[in-house]
Amino acid sequence: MKTFSALVKREVLDGKNGYILVPVILTGITLILVVLSSLGLGNIIYFDDMRGAGIANLADAMNQLVEQEPKEMPAGMTLMYWVTTGLAWVAFPFVIFFSLLGSLYEERRDRSILFWKSMPVADWQEVLAKFFTPVIMAPASFLAVAIAAQLFTALFLSLVMILQGGPVSELWPLGLMITSWFAFIAHYLLWLLWALPLLAWLLFVSSFAARMPFLWAILAPLVLIAVEALFLSTHLFGNWIGLHFGEWQNGAYSQLSHDIDGPRDVLNAVLGGAQWEGLTYSLSNAQFWFGLVVAVGFIFGAIEMRKKAI
């Protein structure tokens, strides 16, 4: 266990630009914009007709929102805090994609594999560490930065409200915020299990591609999709990829209410049993289990390829 932990730590340090700096920088940019807009710079908050409505600053706007939509405020603030971290989450899938694609390819390209093979570490441990780090440690890092950013935003807005005479307690819906963090973890883990064959494919490509792993990862599936459509007039392979990429959610959450009227309804849909619905749907779906088998095959193939790599 200590060996595996050390390998994961090494992978995190090697990929710190993607796992740490990317979310910190992108979230920092968003927080700067939040601070500037909260202070009224750049005409982001204030519009010409707001003073006529009795809104002279951010606190006035918050006071009116509390009076008009008190039940929507906790959910609205929770969603707003997530929006402030949205820029980092846009980059998140790209970090996973390129981390997996370069995990085994880079050590062969720079010949560092010769050094690592001289160490008393099994190939399966190396491969699993390189797979585990992007799919588990990367989202953990992004979520940690997101939580810190949300708390910073709440703290900063609280200071603004104190100075301007606005509401403070409404800025801290801690129950909903914490619940949303755990809901994200649950949904990500479920998405990860569905996407496992696609992610394992990237790892497998990284283990054998002599050059241009990006083209191997993208063009090979596209060629298979084109050949199937041309000669068989079917789209089974493309549909299978789409299913594991995210299409499964249409079936998993088809029973959820689509009557959305405000932030509270959005959070109720997300937090009100959606993860349980997705889990029960997944466990009863044959494609879910078949995808896990395919993923195991790709990971096993990556281990075997690394054994033969020199």
| DSSP secondary structure string for all residues of the chain | -HHHHHHHHHHHHHTHIIIIIHHHHHHHHHHHHHHHHHTTGGGSS--TTTGGGT--SHHHHHHHHHHH-TTTHHHHHHHHHHHTTHHHHHHHHHHHHHHHHHHTHHHHHSSTHHHHHTSS--HHHHHHHHHHIIIIIHHHHHHHHHHHHHHHHHHHHHHHHHHHT--SGGG--HHHHHHHHHHHHHHHHHHHHHHHHHHHHHHHHHHH-SS-HHHHHHHHHHHHHHHHHHHT---HHHHHHHIIIIIHHHHHTTTS-----SHHHHHHHHHSSHHHHHHHHHHT-HHHHHHHHHHHHHHHHHHHHHHH--
What is the percentage of the chain residues whose pLDDT exceeds 70? 89
Q: How much is the pLDDT for 43?
A: 46
Give per-residue pLDDT as tens, 154-178.
Answer: 999 899 888 877 788 888 999 889 9
Mean pLDDT of 182-187: 91
Mean pLDDT of 87-91: 92
Give per-residue pLDDT as tens, 196-240.
Answer: 999 999 999 999 988 889 999 999 999 999 999 988 888 999 999
The whole-chain average pLDDT of the chain stands at 85
Q: How much is the pLDDT for 45?
A: 47
In which domain, by residue range, is 72 found? 2-308
Give per-residue pLDDT as tens, 27-77.
Answer: 999 999 888 877 765 444 444 455 555 566 677 777 777 777 777 788 888
Greater model confidence, 147 or 275: 147
Residue listed under structure tokens 């405000």: 262
Give per-residue pLDDT as tens, 92-118.
Answer: 999 999 999 998 988 888 888 777 777
Amino acid symbol at 284: S
- Distance separating the N- and C-terminal Cα atoms of the chain: 26
Q: Answer yes or no: is pLDDT of 268 > 50.
A: yes
Domain count, the chain: 1
